[in-house]
């Protein structure tokens, strides 16, 4: 049975591109912008927006690694599979970060497309805190070179 990473590449959901340190930096900067938006939304009790911003901060953080490594994603799911394959399996990233990304990816999906999604302030605060820690961890990785 093919690995999930291999399935993503075979389906064209992860594709090789030229590595780009510039796009890596841009993606980290986008993550920081989304994090600021999430914080602002939280302060203004716009919890659905805060939740979305927190996830997008994590998404753009993770995407920075792909740009640096020379990959482009066409699937949020496959972005996490890349991190599993290239970073968790090699010991460069702890598994809990990918699990966190997957968890908030699913929350984001329910938030955007569900008809009965209920938001709780405490969970939104946890998402915001997780996004801050996730960005910090990804920055540590991207600064290792």
State the residue range of the domain holding 70.
4-142
Share of the chain above pLDDT 70, in %: 98
**Residue 49 pLDDT exceeds 80:** yes
Indicate the average pLDDT of the chain: 94
Which pTM was predicted? 0.93
Q: Which two tokens stand for residue 28?
A: 């980290």
Split into its structural domains, the chain has a count of 1
CA distance 35 to 16: 28
DSSP 111-134: HHH-SS----HHHHHHHHHHHHHH
CATH number for the domain harbouring residue 50:
1.20.120.330
pLDDT category of residue 145 using cuts at 50, 70 and 90: low
Q: Taking a C-beta distance cutoff of 8 angstroms, is the pair 63, 78 a contact?
A: no
pLDDT digits (tens, 9 = 90+) for 3-36: 899 999 999 999 999 999 999 999 999 999 999 9
Q: Taking a C-beta distance cutoff of 8 angstroms, is the pair 99, 43 a contact?
A: no
- CA distances 108 to 89, 103, 119, 139, Å, are 26, 9, 11, 23
Instruction: Report pLDDT for 2.
Output: 63
**Residue 1 pLDDT exceeds 60:** no
């Amino acid at each position: 049975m093919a690995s999930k990473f291999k399935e993503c590449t075979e389906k064209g959901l992860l594709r090789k591109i030229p590595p780009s340190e510039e796009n890596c930096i841009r993606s980290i900067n986008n993550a920081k912008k989304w994090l600021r938006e999430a914080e602002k939304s939280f302060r203004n009790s716009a919890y659905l927006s805060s939740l979305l911003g927190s996830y997008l901060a994590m998404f753009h953080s993770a995407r920075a690694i792909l740009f640096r490594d020379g990959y482009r994603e066409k699937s949020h799911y496959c972005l996490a599979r890349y991190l599993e394959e290239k970073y968790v399996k090699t010991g460069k990233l702890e598994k809990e970060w990918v699990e966190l990304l997957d968890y908030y990816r699913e929350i984001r999906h329910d938030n955007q497309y569900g008809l009965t999604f209920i938001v709780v302030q405490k969970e939104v605060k946890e998402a915001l805190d997780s996004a801050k820690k996730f960005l910090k961890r990804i920055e540590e990785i991207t600064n290792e070179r």
